[in-house]
Amino acid sequence: MARGPAKYAYKLRRPSRKTLQQHRQQKLTAEEVKELARLMQTRFCWSTPTGSGKTAIAAGPHLWPTNEGKTTIMVCPLLALEEEMVETFKTEFGLTAIAVNGQNTLSQNRQIMQEILQGQYRIILISPEMLQSSTFKDRILCYG
């Protein structure tokens, strides 16, 4: 049996057309969410200065036709940069993007989460607080 990150790799691979609906219905378990969070912290942490091209790195995979319909969640600890980055994704890369943070009202965040579930955004910029909220975890990360 696979161990570590490989244990959950099957959920990250693009499923065949036949099983696409089955994969969309799968719900991540609490253990899987914890493991993915751990992996993100230990393996995928970038710390580079402003203007060094992090936005282009996040946008790049969306330019490949095989990644059509996929979504990237980007944690952005600076609320001041979120809206700027949303505009950059839209204007420079032609990607739909949204910021999810505590500055939105509860009803706005509910609407945004519904739009995310409908696949309206390719890039989600989220504050650390919102990423840890049970509402976001239950409705978006563990959607099933």
Give the model's confidence band at 106: pLDDT under 50 very low, under 70 low, under 90 confident, else very high.
confident
Q: In the chain, where are the structural domains located?
A: 1-45, 54-133
pLDDT above 90 for 121: yes
Residues 82-95, mean pLDDT to the nearest whole number: 90
In terms of pLDDT, which residue wins out, 44 or 116? 116
Give the model's confidence band at 47: pLDDT under 50 very low, under 70 low, under 90 confident, else very high.
low
- Global model pTM greater than 0.85: no
Give me the DSSP letters along 72-140. EEEE-S-HHHHHHHHHHHHHHH---EEEESTTS-HHHHHHHHHHHHTT--SEEEE-HHHHH-HHHIIII
Per-residue confidence (pLDDT) for residue 134, from 0 to 100? 85
CATH of 54-133, one of 3.40.50.20, 3.40.50.2300, 3.40.50.300, 1.20.1250.20: 3.40.50.300
